[in-house]
Amino acid sequence: MRHWHEEHGAQEWRTAADEADRRRGVVVPAEELLGVAEGRRLLTLALELLDKPASPGALTAARSTARKALGVIPQSKPDQLCHEHRWRGRSSWPERPPLEVCARPTCGRCVPLKQARASADESTEM
Ligand SMILES: [Zn+2]
């Protein structure tokens, strides 16, 4: 089976998509990403649990909380599956713009775009 990037037009699409991302620049500064605040909250909680490691369940809860933090802290770059997901969904973009972003929960490219879109949606609802 061929990899997505071996499909006809995939390399050109990726180059153009990456260039468009570069031109757009920073959409939401890292300090303002919701996942950063949530990750900080979870890691603080994990640290508090580690303050009393002998308490029943504290270590398990600390490990679990630290794992949850990794599930929300955005990556610094696009997720490794981001380009493939967007390549496969590209035909639906004009009708369904949400597919222009990937479904990876911590994608460094798409998390800021989703957050910007959500706050734009909120401001148009008012
Ligand atoms: Zn993505």
Taking residues 118-124, report their average pLDDT.
86
Distance 5 CA to ligand 1 centre (A): 16
Q: What is the mean pLDDT of the chain?
A: 92
Q: Token pair for residue 80?
A: 């490794």
Higher pLDDT: 48 or 122? It is 48
Which long-range contacts link 42-46 to residues 24+ away (Cβ below 8 Å)? 42/66, 42/68, 42/69, 42/72, 43/69
Distance 37 CA to ligand 1 centre (A): 20
pLDDT digits (tens, 9 = 90+) for 102-118: 999 999 999 999 999 99
Q: Any idea which residue has 């972003």 for tokens?
A: 101
Domain range annotation of the chain? 28-73, 75-126
Q: Token pair for residue 53?
A: 């490691």
End-to-end CA distance of the chain: 49
Q: What is the pLDDT of residue 65?
A: 98
Alpha carbons 16 and 93: distance in angstroms, whole number: 15
pTM equals 0.85
**Ion ligand 1: residues, Cβ under 5 Å:** 82, 102, 107, 109-110
Alpha carbons 110 and 27: distance in angstroms, whole number: 10
* CA nearest to 42, candidates 63, 65, 60: 65
Which of the residue ranges 9-23, 55-69, 82-96 would you say has the lowest mean pLDDT?
82-96
Higher pLDDT: 89 or 27? It is 27
Distance 45 CA to ligand 1 centre (A): 28
pLDDT digits (tens, 9 = 90+) for 65-102: 999 999 999 999 999 999 999 998 887 766 665 568 99
Taking residues 57-64, report their average pLDDT.
98
